[in-house]
Structure 1
Amino acid sequence: MAGNSDPLSPRAKLAVTAGKAVAAASRAAGRGSGSVIGGRVALKLDPDLLGRLAQNLDVVLVSATNGKTTTTRLIAEALRAAGPVVSNALGANMPAGITSALAGGSEAKFGVIEVDEKYLAGVARDTSPKCIALLNLSRDQLDRAAETRMLAENWREGLAGSKAVVVANCDDPLVVWAASSSANVIWVAAGQMWKDDAWSCPSCGGVMQRPGDDWFCGECGFRRPTPTWALSGDHVLDPHGSAWPIHLQLPGRANKANAASSAAVAAVFGVPPQVALERMYQVQAVAGRYDVVQFQNRDLRLLLAKNPAGWLETFSLIDPPPAPVILSVNARGADGTDTSWLWDVDYTRLTGHPIFVVGDRKLDLAVRLEVANQHFQVCDDLDQAVQMCPPGRIEVIANYTAFQDLRRRVGN
């Protein structure tokens, strides 16, 4: 491999140039950012390109079922205190999208990369990360993703022997099982609201005991490790016991947890918690999530929720009743085509809210809401739903492609 003065071979440079040209053509044709198709072309021309692009960067990988994109953004902001950062900030998180992102960051010192759970082991092998952040694992896209225990096993095997510092959430038993094969783990008590994917021990299959915030397996002794970082209310506790205030423009407990993990990652690179957390305040919205937009003379807040764990966290964010709520669910390829996960969501938390239902699978959602004894109306589209909403800021909760549809409609 070439030295630092010119790390890319002629073939790699050709691959980068070709990828950028294809991406630009895709953008010009109105087909999105072009990052995925550009990355695919570049990797075809040089299959080792991802490793070559990463070799002069201090790389951080971020993986989880929920919160990857936001945490990647928070870590990137924090590390900018120590040097230029390149990141796949728009969430293209498979090898092609990651390659595209790194190809645009020739001056960067740090690469902060969100990685799809299924691709983590391979991307870690290619990029030799200095740090890997593991936040949570829960069921998602039931038709395409392996069940969570298999994903945890995949992480565990793929990260064994890695030299990376692993920053892992000690409150999620599946994450602890996955991270425990690594030599250097920093445990963060980031909390876990959704517990329905970790009632059995990932190590032996025994029943997990959960007294208070603790957990352990009564059969094999697998248990919650002692954290060195912790989320405590509105503060992050560092390894010295100092409490640092979290000031975020992003709402909710889940984002405070993301900030706690991000502060622990930043500290690995020498950025102190106070500096890291101050920088995180700059983040207002992440790829449209949490944005408040004007549409038909109404304020709409856009919230993304892709799976049961995400919906549970999102319900804790919304304005109290009688704030109107619009729910939109699709089941396209990127969402997963199986909507049975709707039955794992506790929709009784919406009692008292006027509810309006849109999206490709609005009838699936309507059946679920009826069983939960919720009052709702099925609407043709967002425009009709907004017109029918009573006064007040409208909370709009959507899964992945439904969220993209909404953003296009409101011009966000």
Structure 2
Amino acid sequence: MAGNSDPLTPRAKLAVTAGKAVAAASRAAGRGSGSVIGGKVALRLDPDLLARLAQNLDVILVSATNGKTTTTRLIAEALRAAGPVVSNALGANMPAGITSALAGGSDAKFGVIEVDEKYLAGVARDTDPKCIALLNLSRDQLDRAAETRMLAENWREGLAGSKAVVIANCDDPLVVWAASSSPNVVWVAAGQMWKDDAWSCPSCGGVMQRPGDDWYCGECGFRRPTPTWALSGDHVLDPHGSAWPIHLQLPGRANKANAASSAAVAAVFGVPPQVALERMYQVQAVAGRYDVVQFQNRDLRLLLAKNPAGWLETFSLIDPPPAPVILSVNARGADGTDTSWLWDVDYTRLTGHPIFVLGDRKLDLAVRLEVAGQHFQVCENLDQAVQLCPPGRIEVIANYTAFQDLRRRVGN
């Protein structure tokens, strides 16, 4: 990994070999990709392995509540125009999974790494990134993650004085507060549909004023910085004011925003916006998200939504009524076990859609839909739901482990 000039130590090589062996055994046993367990074993043998693997790479870190996996994939595609890329493309975004991913990219020039929000500061310390992309912060996994203002504070402290170029969304006050401690920030106007976590000023606690697309605190003067990149409809505006068309197969405004941030990252490494955006067109689906699959002679589109902001963006993607919608919610460890976030989602946006509900927490979701005045049926499993669906492409929206369950069932 580290090239001829600075080979891995014998201990690091042993750790990489052992990690790969454990990962292979885990895959052979049918327990997933093995990347997390492999990385854990490797880090146990050499606690400094992540830093060693990163030392000869240009590392780009991507963190956010929503859009990390997709943006990581878009950046990786764009940067392949400038050299080989290694990336944790399947979304294993804590130190063990990141270590596993980097161990597999011996001739890479770039490391494009998705990082869980809670681990960003530590991973940045270990990998000495050239660039960090910060997209958004909103409530997620209420039992696991501290409230969003504390996450923003962790980012702010962890990134203070970082040498990295920070590409940050100037439309999210929490991201701006977090990034403002960095000496080298490039602001991107990527938009913010979900605003319910940013009504109070992260700097002083005052009430945010939000005229139009602008925002500022009337008490301390903390305000939206002027962007140098911007999403404008179907185009990205670069720092010179040129408008570049966004070519994506992925649907929705949120993915155009991800593309705008990705183009800004690519430019840091000399890849022009036109080249970056054209390369992003290769991406059809990301770890199963947005895939249209055939199941029981029906077309199902698989959509992942893990928290209120994600559900809001996803509702804007789905086919208009009367397209049938299947909703599946679990509350396992990877989802967060607290489902009170369901009350933050505006399910009245599904009015006119036939709705079918499944998953471990289908009754929690049923109560929420009842209160929202929606018509729905509770189903035992995907097969039953699909059989009950009226004609039309079926939109399937699920949170994290429910999404994995559905992918296994449809053979995706």
TM-score range (shorter-chain normalised) is over 0.9
- Asked if 1 retains the 8 angstrom alpha-carbon contact of 2:2 and 2:54, the reply is no
- Residues 378-409 of structure 1, C-alpha deviations (whole Å, 9 max, x = no match): 00100000000000000000000000000000
From the superposition, tell whether residues 198 and 55 of structure 1 become closer, same or farther in structure 2 (CA, over 3 Å).
same
**1:247 Cα deviation from its structure 2 partner:** 1.1
Cα deviation digits, residues 197-241 of structure 1 (max 9, x gap): 000000000000000000000000000000000000000000000
Change (3 A) 1:401 1:3: closer
Instruction: Measure how far apart 1:289 and its partner are.
Output: 0.1
Say if 2:3 and 2:56, in contact at 8 Å, map to a contact too: no
The alpha carbon displacement at 1:161 in A equals 1.2
Q: Distance in 1 between matches of 2:45 and 2:399?
A: 35
- Whether the 8 Å contact between 1:155 and 1:178 is mirrored in structure 2 is yes
Query: Secondary structure at 2:300's aligned position in 1?
Result: strand
Which residue in the other structure is 1:96 paired with? 96
Query: Contact (CA 8 Å) 2:136, 2:169: kept in 1 or not?
Result: yes
Q: Residue 76 of structure 2: SS of its match in structure 1?
A: helix
Deviations along 1:268-299, one digit per CA (max 9) or x if unpaired, are 00000000000000000000000000000000
Question: CA contact under 8 A between 2:2 and 2:53: conserved in structure 1?
Answer: no
Against the structure 1 CA distance between its residues 141 and 222, is the aligned structure 2 distance closer, same or farther, given a 3 Å change threshold?
same
| Superposition deviation, residue 38 in structure 1 | 0.3
Q: Secondary structure at the match of 2:151?
A: helix
- Write the distance in 1 (CA, Å) between the matches of 2:203 and 2:88: 33
Contact 2:2 2:106 in 1 (8 A): no
Q: Deviations over 1:104-158 (max 9, x none)?
A: 0010000000000000000000000000000000000000001000000000000
What is the aligned partner in structure 1 of residue 331 from structure 2? 331
What is the CA-CA distance between 1:7 and the residue it aligns to? 2.5
Aligned-residue offset at 1:3: 8.1
What's the offset of the Cα at 1:6?
A: 3.7
State the match for 1:11 in structure 2. 11
Structure 1 unmatched runs, 5+ = none
Give 1:341 deviation, angstroms.
Answer: 0.2
Give, in angstroms, the shift of residue 372 of structure 1: 0.3
- Note the C-alpha offset of 1:4: 4.8
Q: 8 Å contact 2:169–2:188 — kept in the other structure?
A: yes
Q: 1:320 aligns to what SS in structure 2?
A: coil
Q: % of aligned pairs identical? A: 96
Task: Please give the alpha-carbon distance, in whole angstroms, between the structure 1 residues aligned to 2:65 and 2:54.
Answer: 24
Tell me if the contact between 1:7 and 1:52 (Cα under 8 Å) persists in the aligned partners. Answer: no
User: After the TM superposition, which residues 134-153 of structure 1 pair with which residues of structure 2 at under 5 Å, given as runs?
Assistant: 134-153=134-153
Superposed CA deviations along residues 21-42 of structure 1, whole A, max 9, x for unmatched, are 0000000000000000000000
Measure the CA separation in 1 of the matches of 2:6 and 2:248: 40
CA distance in 2, matches of 1:355, 1:87: 37
**Aligned to 1:18, what secondary structure does the other structure show?**
helix
Counterpart Cα distance in 2 of 1:122 and 1:161 = 14
Write out per-residue CA displacement over residues 145-186 of structure 1, whole angstroms, 9 at most, x where no aligned residue: 010000000000000011000000000000000000000000
SS at match of 2:311: helix
Q: Using the alignment, how far apart are the partners of 1:316 and 1:377 within structure 2? A: 22
**Compared with structure 1, are the counterparts of its residues 10 and 342 closer, same or farther at alpha carbon in structure 2 (3 Å cutoff)?**
same
SS state of the match for residue 30, structure 2? coil
SS of residue in 2 equivalent to 1:260: helix
Q: Name the counterpart of 1:379.
A: 379
Q: How many residues matched?
A: 412
- Distance in 2 between residues matched to 1:368 and 1:2, nearest whole Å: 52
Is the CA contact (8 Å cut-off) linking 2:231 and 2:260 kept in structure 1?
A: yes
Distance 1:2 1:297, change over 3 A: closer
In the alignment, the residues of structure 2 paired with residue 270 and residue 67 of structure 1 have an alpha-carbon distance, to the nearest angstrom, of 23
TM-score (norm 2): 0.99
1:302 and 1:397 in contact (8 A); partners too? yes
Q: Secondary structure at the match of 1:369?
A: helix
Matches of 1:34 and 1:338 in 2, distance apart? 27
Contact 2:2-2:55 within 8 A present in 1 as well: no
Q: After superposition, give the CA deviation of every residue in 1:44-90 in whole Å (9 maximum; x if it has no partner).
A: 00000000000000000000000000000000000000000000000
Distance 1:75 1:2, change over 3 A: closer
Give the superposition deviation at 1:5: 2.2
Q: How far apart in 1 are the matches of 2:3 and 2:390?
A: 64
Match of 1:307 in 2: 307
| Maintained 8 Å contact 1:4/1:56 | no
Cα distance in 2, alignment partners of residues 201 and 374 from structure 1: 35
* Structure 2 match to 1:124: 124
Counterparts in 2 of 1:399 and 1:127: CA distance versus 1, 3 Å: same
Structure 2 residue matching 1:326: 3-state secondary structure? strand
Question: Does the residue aligned with 2:313 lie in a helix, a strand or coil?
Answer: helix
TM-score normalised by structure 1 residue count: 0.99
Q: Label 1:371 to 1:186 Cα distance change in 2 as closer, same or farther (>3 A).
A: same
Bigger Cα displacement from structure 2, 4-13 vs 126-135: 4-13
Q: Deviations over 1:246-278 (max 9, x none)?
A: 010000000000000000000000000000000
Which residue does 1:396 correspond to in 2? 396
Distance in 2 (CA, whole Å) between partners of 1:199 and 1:112 is: 32
Matches of 2:327 and 2:240, distance apart in 1:
44
Query: Do the aligned partners of residues 335 and 3 (structure 1) sit closer, same or farther apart at CA in structure 2, a change above 3 Å counting?
Result: closer
Looking at structure 2, the residues matched to 172 and 234 of structure 1 have their Cα atoms a distance apart, in angstroms, of 20
Cα distance in 2 between the residues matched to 1:3 and 1:289? 35
Secondary structure of 1:303's aligned partner: strand
